[in-house]
A and B are shown apart, each in its own frame.
Chain A
Amino acid sequence: MARAYVPMTAEDRESMLSTIGVGSIDELFAAIPPQFRATNMAQLPPPLSEMEVVRTLTDIASTDVSAGQVAFFRGGGAYRRFTPAVVDEIIRRGEFLTSYTPYQPEASQGTLQVGFEFQSLICGLYGMEVANLGMYDAGSALAEACLMACRVTQRERVAIAAGVNPRYRRVVETYLRAQGIVIDLDADPSGAALNEQHACLVLQSPDYYGRLALRDASIAERCHAAGAVLVVSADPMASALFRPPGELGADIVVGEGQSLGLPLNFGGPYLGLFTTKMEYVRQMPGRIVGQTQDLDGRRAFVLTLQAREQHIRRERAVSNICTNEQLLVLAVTVYLSLMGKAGLRSVARACYDKAHYLALAVDALPGWSLSFPDSPFFSEFTVDAPLHPSEINRRLRGQGIVGGIDVSEGGANRMLLCATETNSRAEIDRLLGALEGMAAR
């Protein structure tokens, strides 16, 4: 039967087997012990035509309610963004989409130059000296940052401040437990409790509850005084507005690239941003693009410092990472190129202004108050509500509104609300109207 993805015809098969010098494919499988020569393919469903594939996936997708179908106010590490059309046009181009890791640089200058531009942009955003080509997501990037801190300081203890996204914290635990590295949780975010055993303090800013935890260089100074490094996880969009961690003494800065215009995609693929200082570059995981020249003196780009990586150093590599998230590196680079200096500032400002507009108005509702009224925040903030978040969300959902995240383990009826550039004033006012109706009942 003719198959679109498998062009071998019966005629081809016969001719090729003849050239190989066998009568049937069984002879090619002769090395396989006969008792193992079986697959379960008969138990899988029958093939589908392209039309039926589309129908099947349409049915599946239609039972979901996407963020765009409701007024959406939920964040927690993934943010609703507007992505300009050019981004998708570029990442759909076959020369980018279907290309391979740029190990043959002469055939990959597109991917490599994009990588160099990406590294430059992310360094500029975070105020850091070197960026890699990204890791899987912010959680695994944070875990790898902790491992790197241990290598750099030759210490085996890590302090994680309260306020780090609990999902990221669990990923760090998974990675570090395997190497016997000790983790101190709920560490003092000022860095005052660090001692000579600690490789790093891990801080998130804005933190999981929206609060700006890093505002000056004092925390970095305390870390360095203890011989430790400061690892910061920062929403890159926040760094478009606030002083970036690199200007405040951070040694390793990681974050979630999804916030730079990538689709929500039910949690992935995302992009772990990873930056550090040049003095630590040889301990940094992940791929790095460097500038060089070719035989004729043309500027060109190439993967460099590969001696850190698994294909060269094997068990002595700084990380096992191989395939990363390169197509998303391209998407972010296109997004940032379209936005530019003014555009990114404008989007960040919109997130900040809308979140503050919402926060001030919620705080003014009877029965509602900001959980941390003295703390600066960016695009998310926590409120103490008159009802449990699950009840609030149930009522909101009935009105076509998706409310915030239940963070009531930190305080009675506490909820984490988010507003981004995609929330119109009308939507925010509609949310306020709905919340007002829930006050003191």
Chain B
Amino acid sequence: MPGEFSFKAIYDEYKNLVFNLSLQYVQNATDAQDVTQEVFVKVYQNLHKYDSATASLKTWIYRITINQNLDFLKARRSKKRFAFITSIFGKEEEPAHFDHPGVAMEDKDELKQLFALINQLPHRQKTALILSRIEERSQKEIAEIMGLSVKAVDSLVQRALANLSRTEGKDKFYRINKLLL
């Protein structure tokens, strides 16, 4: 592999960043591994196109990771739509499961529910929320990664949190009602 040494160095430096970010999107280790693999193949194939004047290497890798995760989730949703057709012919698709290695067993149920709500957010709100509240990136960094202004990022995060609070409240209401009935 040409330039193997530098690619390996890039992989070693950013593998955990890419893997953990992918986990926040797909919420299970198997899918996160697949996405991480795709990200680094893309990095390798496009390294010659990378221009350090436009963005830092970290920002560039963040962008590839986010886009690759969004593509993965889009493909998964398309598969699900066709799943009912394939199930008629006896071939059922396994639903995506929550198996986040960064979540302790005692917190699994709570975070599984929260991620179910996060997954319903529009993808820009979801990305801004993940980068801000889980990855703990500064608003300036997030703005650079997403190609937005700091104000726009702040607005996305606030809307994401407001949407989550609203749907979390509704969700609790329905669950409590279900228990009482």
**Do A and B assemble together?**
no
